[in-house]
Structure 1
């Protein structure tokens, strides 16, 4: 990986991807496969992902198949066999029929984010990745795009902003876009090694609090918690002690996971979401992933939607002769779907975080009475996604 200031050479179709996370790497792969000369710029000193797990749903796996890395990901992932929603005492409120879900849509798998990043980086040609390159400003110059970074200026025919919810590119080129909004809750994430794999994943709902877990392929467990809290609040002691205070009396194996956890592995981040944007594109620039539609994590679709974005963007560019018309098609396809999923995720998060004892009692009873088929049917519009083909990309797409 080199610094972008040393990049030379002129390509026929050049693209700059700002952001080297999952969405940015996927965009780099998709564009490279479409014949573009790509530079992926990452502000961090090295490419990689923080230590946390990631659920890849059938739609996300189809996107990875379209990128040519699906089988490699499956080799490094673990299929989820049991999941659902429990209360804090461990009683199942709703179970996911994993076999039926896999039969209808394909499996759901768990992978460590760092491992997925490694797989995506390995699929890019040498000379594509440029770490330690922080973009300061982006602009449109005639029929080109321009990014200014710490060591100079780069120009290209296409700019893809995959630089997250606080996107510098979005602030530069979408100055009227609404700022991210605090969702009212904070989240802790960690990976725990208890010496044995947890038997089942899923989430557990309390009153204004929740926890979740999922087994990882290496035998460790991805564990996360969420709680309503003022924005920016941090624990006076350490975060692991706060987790033990809040969740140490919840059902097994949560106390066991917390007992085995290491304070240094605990990540805490407030949850923000991006209000709906009027467009994902301007000129020859496009937003992708969290830069376009950052959503709450309640549906586990953030990374999966970024993967869909990358595949769809490249397919639109392949199907249209002009970059602007291709980006207009990308916006028609991606914006309605991702904003619909973001709204649904926010609604689920609101219900999961209810405080009132009577309201949560009704919520839990309702979940217990619903048939398993209701959950699969509710997920159908999300999971049935297929990579777009060349023939239908010129038509507007407004359904989820």
Structure 2
């Protein structure tokens, strides 16, 4: 790789983690980010055990622990506050589940890279693959030629659209509001979700006396864009405490609203000198909390593949082989879970809740174990 160049499109978690993974192997990758400046953005972010294992591989586990918050448990409730299920995480497990503010993780990753390798205001408008290089044209008129390209520019990736024109985001059928608010007076210490006919609400404590919450409501795409705190409070005023109190403590300017979308699983990530990673390759609904986690896994696996194989195109194909099945399972499972969580019919909700209450803990533990079982620790093929 000494005489060849590698570039990354996208300066989010996938792109920055990959730049760090390559840097750890002596490879400098130039990162091109569409935004004109890097500002703290986003809300809370869940980091499953698999992501924490990946951070160990990247060498930043201790730093993440310092700025994150360990989750002792997760509880699922019905709208009246009756427990549906409860998961207690092992307090002796040093690779536990964490929450972190997305902006803080972003800042940590940036601090580990040379600022000169991050190029801002570079939105790709044209992609062209040549025999020995890849050519990019940006919306500011500038161009960039690289030997190899890692595409990490998210679910709306312009490069993926060029490579796979039929791969477009699909709407889940529900839309989402998120906010990070002060938790000093609320004193919420446990992570939870509440599932009811009017929508689903999640509460996740963050470090520094902050609380991340989200609400998902079934709707036609774009129909509820006008919703603010007043409309949300009215809709959920009969849900159990502390949900009304959380909404009362939120201001409209703190809300972030997005329709929930994903990508139908692809059959290909590697395209010669180009490879798709993160949301550009396998965007998932957030129901398993695995979107960012899978992007972080991607970075570690891609770094291992590039280190192991001299031929980078072959390394990209090995990455594809190692990642297609796992990411497909995540996307498909999260999609099904979202459909179950967003039920509105009272009879079906009752049957769902009864079924979940009757499940032995071993069933949930098996799924958690499957998420935690990663291949990069042994660097398998």
- What TM-score range do you get, normalising by the shorter chain? over 0.9
Q: 2: distance between equivalents of 1:49 and 1:57?
A: 22
Q: 1: distance between equivalents of 2:375 and 2:108?
A: 22
CA deviation map 1:225-258 (0-9, x unaligned) = 001000012344x421221122232111111111
Q: Structure 1's 318 and 63: CA in aligned 2 closer, same or farther, altered over 3 A?
A: same
Q: Secondary structure at the match of 1:127?
A: helix
Asked whether the 8 Å contact 1:86–1:204 carries over to 2, the reply is: yes
1:95 aligned to which of 71, 82, 86: 86
Residue in 2 aligned with 1:163? Answer: 153
Gaps of 5+ in 1: 1-9, 394-400
Residue in 2 aligned with 1:226? Answer: 216
- Farther off after superposition, 91-100 or 319-328: 91-100
Q: Structure 1's 194 and 219: CA in aligned 2 closer, same or farther, altered over 3 A?
A: closer
- Farther off after superposition, 42-51 or 129-138: 42-51
Gaps of 5+ in 2: none
Asked whether the 8 Å contact 1:13–1:36 carries over to 2, the reply is: no
Asked whether the 8 Å contact 1:18–1:162 carries over to 2, the reply is: yes
Q: How does the TM-score come out when normalised to structure 2?
A: 0.95
Tell me the CA shift for residue 171 of structure 1. 1.1
Q: How does the TM-score come out when normalised to structure 1?
A: 0.91
- Farther off after superposition, 11-20 or 74-83: 11-20
Residue in 1 aligned with 2:287? Answer: 298
Say whether 1:350 aligns with 2:339: yes
- Farther off after superposition, 327-336 or 49-58: 49-58
Residue in 1 aligned with 2:190? Answer: 200
CA deviation map 1:142-196 (0-9, x unaligned) = 1211211123211112111111111011012233x42111110000000111424
Residue in 2 aligned with 1:34? Answer: 25
2:201 aligned to which of 190, 196, 211: 211
Asked whether the 8 Å contact 2:198–2:235 carries over to 1, the reply is: no
Tell me the CA shift for residue 208 of structure 1. 5.3
Say whether 1:174 aligns with 2:171: no
1:285 aligned to which of 266, 274, 280: 274
CA deviation map 1:319-341 (0-9, x unaligned) = 11101110110000011110111
Q: 1: distance between equivalents of 2:269 and 2:38?
A: 25
Asked whether the 8 Å contact 2:19–2:28 carries over to 1, the reply is: no
CA deviation map 1:199-225 (0-9, x unaligned) = 211111112510001100111100000
Q: 2: distance between equivalents of 1:293 and 1:48?
A: 25
Q: Secondary structure at the match of 1:215?
A: strand
Residue in 2 aligned with 1:135? Answer: 124
Asked whether the 8 Å contact 1:145–1:156 carries over to 2, the reply is: yes
- How do 1:106-125 residues align onto structure 2 when only pairs under 5 Å count? 106-125=95-114
2:51 aligned to which of 47, 52, 60: 60
Q: Structure 1's 128 and 217: CA in aligned 2 closer, same or farther, altered over 3 A?
A: same
Residue in 2 aligned with 1:264? Answer: 253
Q: Secondary structure at the match of 2:116?
A: coil
Q: Structure 1's 154 and 220: CA in aligned 2 closer, same or farther, altered over 3 A?
A: same
- Farther off after superposition, 83-92 or 367-376: 367-376
Q: Secondary structure at the match of 1:147?
A: strand
1:241 aligned to which of 219, 230, 234: 230
Deviating beyond 4 angstroms after TM superposition, the runs of 4 or more aligned structure 1 residues are: none
Say whether 1:74 aligns with 2:51: no
Number of equivalences: 379
Q: 2: distance between equivalents of 1:293 and 1:344?
A: 13
Q: Secondary structure at the match of 1:75?
A: helix
